[in-house]
Structure 1
Amino acid sequence: MKEQDAKDLLKKYVAGNCTEEEKGLLETWYLQYEIKDLPQIAEEDKEEQLDEVFRSLPIHRSPIRVVSLWPRIAAAAMVLIILGSGLYFYRHKLPKEELVRHEHVNDIKPGGNKAILTLADGRNITLDDAANGSIAKQAGVTISKTKDGQLVYEVIASANDDVDAPYSLNTITTPKGGQYQISLPDGSKVWLNAASSLSYPLRFNKKERKVELTGEAYFEVAHNTALPFKVKTANQQVEVLGTHFNVNAYQDEKSAKTTLLEGSVKISQIQSNVSKLLKPGQQAIVTNAISVIDVDTEEAIAWKDNLLMFNEDNLDHIMRMIARWYNVEIVFNDDSLKTELYSGSVSKFANVSHVLKKLEQLGGVRFTIDDRTIKISRN
């Protein structure tokens, strides 16, 4: 890649305007360079600019100023661009043995739109195999799959129908490596993350709109003051009238987390019936109690925006996220690595080797891909 081409791509990267192909090209290119070959810049100038560009960079290890290849290359490159110094990058290929060390002969592709819809009569429909258009009709409701991979429910029955009558449940389940978007009969939209399931009635009754969730989902609830919308998980219930929020309630996580983006929600701990109200920008953490903290909502919904994002997360938690999205098993050969902290983000559409390389570059950890098992060792 020519120096000017690299600088142009780096500008687009910071602005968030790169296509997935351009991101891949840029991230392949940077692996061939080392920071020692970049022109020297005064430390005070670097520090003045680093905070501005740092959040645009891929994974980095805590503390955030630790030396790592790409963050320093990108940061220095961005500083050059911002300062308009006119300097350029010098090429330097990594030693052959270093390149080999980062190679993963086996690789695993990212997940995609995959789910199984279980109808009230027990029939299963594999949505990724189903043709676009109407896929089922039940109790006055048409269920359709759109060309962009969404599941849409449309009520076609007469308004005089008794919707308080016993209703039938549908369940949509995403496997590991799957995700799906659903438009419910009331117009509410749900994004379902990997290894998750959502159960809901074909038609909501006249008292409430209630769904049950395992795993993780992002909700954009259609406003209706007469019908509260409730999301029930194993140990909590979320109640709203109309709002945007994310619920993370995986059974292999120590707590359930609900993050509010707009509107207001009421969180209740089922066993104790204790409840708290959330404001936008807050997150409820539910165990046997409820704690409320201020958070960066962008991090909570990064998965919906096609990013794997970490913020001072331990490696154990990060690898659980990777396991769900790439449908892999995780084996730690050294349990002490589980507590290592990392921050950063990477595209969900990259192969798993790309994610692992970014972590390896920070030092201290080594990944081996064996079929669909990722083994983790101290390097």
Structure 2
Amino acid sequence: MANTKHHIDNTLILLQEYLKGNIHPTTDRELRMLFQQYPDLRIMVEKLENADHLRQELEYYSVHVKDIEKRESRVLSNIMTKIEKPSLKKTISYKKLPLWYTAAACFIGLAIFGIWTIKSKDHNNNIDVTKLAENLHPGGNKATLHFSDGSSLGLDQSHNGIVIGSNITYNDGSVAIGSSTDKRQMMTLSTPRGGQYEIQLSDGTKVWLNASTSLKYPDKFTEQQRLVELDGEAYFEVAKSQGRPFIVITEKEKIEVLGTHFNVYSYPNEKESKVSLKEGKVKVSVPTGEEKVLAPGEQAVVNGENLRVQQVSIDESISWTNDEFMFNNEPLGTVLTQVARWYDIDINIDPSLSKITLWGSVSRLDTFDKVLKIIKMTDDKIKIQIEGRRVKLMK
């Protein structure tokens, strides 16, 4: 556990020194790397007035919040043992502390927790599983372009996107397919499991496709509207075109915009579909006729015939576009569906584990063993078996 202790102590020292004003990310490499790994951490830490508050808020959260899960309690308990705590007799009253204080303390605790190196009690089994997981590599730039006559073109994996124009070019300007073809009226760009790709449509709209996603679109839009069809997950940066709405049709909803940035998560085999708005304004409607207009920071959730709107962290909703998984109190079953799609693996999970909530973040560029570390942090009693590309999680 010496390595764990070093990481905890070092992280706390960095945060405390930053709060005191003794170091800054522009001059301290370790602090800069910490904030790069956890982008929201700097914002949260700055809300604490000084180093003493950092200690006090962690103590408040671990001692006074009664309904936190045992997992979070263990995390904060370990952190608190590394901080010199004041005498309980001198502890001030925290009953009226602002909500963001406890949120900041929680985030700091969990971020530190995510840095720990976890060692399994069954050391030999852990080494075996880790080595197998290291062989499960992340996805990459993989996509196929399908044409209206039934033919298709496998796109170059050394490029990450295409541009639709008189020619279809890669985003470095090299030609993927020339203008002489007469089969381009309607096209579909599709990514497999373990694939992602970008496309710039004829109007200048940019779309990023996540794994196992298809986008159907015309080579040229009409003068009245711009309509595309989506199965899967994609992030849109819609080019403005006065009087010509941009419409995204999925199996579950219709999204109508003029110019905006938003994410659509709508896989046909999943119950819920989500539209998350980063900027601008979109209208989401469902077959029943119900519709909602979203403001930035809002998410429309479609489940069957039900349509509701909730506040979300957009950074989390679009973290995949920045090559990152971000888990914020998400059910393990939901998380693993996304993970399996990206790593192109089959994951079987014991039903009793599916609702365990997961916190943390991991790069989508890392091999699968890094994801397993986050899972083991949540509950180190979870047993993991790996056979080829099949992963099993058990109690």
Q: Report TM bin, short chain.
A: 0.7 to 0.9
Q: Distance in 2 between matches of 1:346 and 1:132?
A: 21
Give the aligned partner of residue 364 of structure 2: 348
Residues 215-235 of structure 1 deviation map (CA, whole Å, 9 limit, x = unaligned):
000000001121100000002
Give the aligned partner of residue 254 of structure 2: 237
One-letter amino acid of the counterpart of residue 126, structure 2: R
Kindly indicate whether residue 204 of structure 2 is the aligned counterpart of residue 209 of structure 1: no
Q: Distance in 1 between matches of 2:313 and 2:340?
A: 24
Give the aligned partner of residue 126 of structure 1: 154
Q: CA separation of 1:376/1:142 partners in 2, compared to 1, >3 Å: closer, same or farther? A: same
Q: Choose from 67, 70, 83 the match for 2:74.
A: 67
Q: Distance in 2 between matches of 1:335 and 1:191?
A: 33
1:263 to partner: Cα distance? 0.6
Give the aligned partner of residue 11 of structure 1: 31
Q: Distance in 1 between matches of 2:120 and 2:216?
A: 53
Q: Distance in 2 between matches of 1:359 and 1:352?
A: 11
Give the aligned partner of residue 292 of structure 2: 276
Q: Distance in 1 between matches of 2:178 and 2:306?
A: 38
Residues 296-324 of structure 1 deviation map (CA, whole Å, 9 limit, x = unaligned):
11111011111111121111101101110
Give the aligned partner of residue 117 of structure 1: 145
Q: Distance in 2 between matches of 1:277 and 1:110?
A: 36
Residues 189-212 of structure 1 deviation map (CA, whole Å, 9 limit, x = unaligned):
001000100000000011100000
Residues 99-139 of structure 1 deviation map (CA, whole Å, 9 limit, x = unaligned):
6525423220000111111123322111135889999x9xx
Give the aligned partner of residue 202 of structure 2: 185
Give the aligned partner of residue 192 of structure 2: 175
Q: Which runs of 5+ in 1 are unaligned?
A: 19-41, 52-60, 83-91, 157-165
Q: Which has the higher contact order (CA 8 A, sep 6+)?
A: 1
Q: Distance in 1 between matches of 2:170 and 2:53?
A: 55
Q: CA separation of 1:45/1:189 partners in 2, compared to 1, >3 Å: closer, same or farther? A: closer
One-letter amino acid of the counterpart of residue 109, structure 1: H
Q: Distance in 2 between matches of 1:95 and 1:167?
A: 55
Q: Distance in 1 between matches of 2:142 and 2:243?
A: 34
Q: Describe how 1:41-120 pairs up with structure 2 within 5 A.
A: 45-48=54-57, 65-68=72-75, 72=79, 97-98=122-123, 100-104=125-129, 105-106=131-132, 107-120=135-148
Residues 65-90 of structure 1 deviation map (CA, whole Å, 9 limit, x = unaligned):
33249x949x97xx9xx9xxxxxxxx
User: Contact 1:238/1:265 (CA < 8 Å) preserved in 2?
Assistant: yes
Give the aligned partner of residue 374 of structure 1: 391
User: Contact 1:132/1:144 (CA < 8 Å) preserved in 2?
Assistant: no
Residues 233-272 of structure 1 deviation map (CA, whole Å, 9 limit, x = unaligned):
0020000000000000012321111011111001110x21
Give the aligned partner of residue 364 of structure 1: 381
1:176 to partner: Cα distance? 0.5
One-letter amino acid of the counterpart of residue 341, structure 1: T
1:361 to partner: Cα distance? 3.1
Q: CA separation of 1:297/1:151 partners in 2, compared to 1, >3 Å: closer, same or farther? A: farther
Q: Distance in 2 between matches of 1:338 and 1:132?
A: 34
Q: CA separation of 1:291/1:322 partners in 2, compared to 1, >3 Å: closer, same or farther? A: same
Which TM-score applies when normalising by structure 2?
0.70
Q: CA separation of 1:167/1:204 partners in 2, compared to 1, >3 Å: closer, same or farther? A: farther
Q: CA separation of 1:43/1:5 partners in 2, compared to 1, >3 Å: closer, same or farther? A: closer
Of Structure 1 and Structure 2, which has the larger fraction of its residues in strand? 1
Give the aligned partner of residue 146 of structure 1: 171
Q: Over aligned residues, Cα RMSD in angstroms?
A: 4.2
Give the aligned partner of residue 25 of structure 2: none
One-letter amino acid of the counterpart of residue 297, structure 1: I
Give the aligned partner of residue 57 of structure 1: none
Q: Which runs of 5+ in 2 are unaligned?
A: 15-27, 39-50, 61-67, 84-104, 109-116
Q: CA separation of 1:291/1:66 partners in 2, compared to 1, >3 Å: closer, same or farther? A: same
Which TM-score applies when normalising by structure 1?
0.73
One-letter amino acid of the counterpart of residue 14, structure 1: L
Specify the SS of the correspondent of 2:334: helix
Residues 333-372 of structure 1 deviation map (CA, whole Å, 9 limit, x = unaligned):
x211111111221110110011112211332312222100
User: Contact 2:141/2:159 (CA < 8 Å) preserved in 1?
Assistant: no
User: Contact 2:328/2:360 (CA < 8 Å) preserved in 1?
Assistant: yes
Specify the SS of the correspondent of 1:16: helix
Give the aligned partner of residue 319 of structure 2: 302
User: Contact 1:155/1:185 (CA < 8 Å) preserved in 2?
Assistant: no
Q: Distance in 1 between matches of 2:248 and 2:301?
A: 15
1:49 to partner: Cα distance? 6.6
Q: Distance in 2 between matches of 1:283 and 1:189?
A: 20
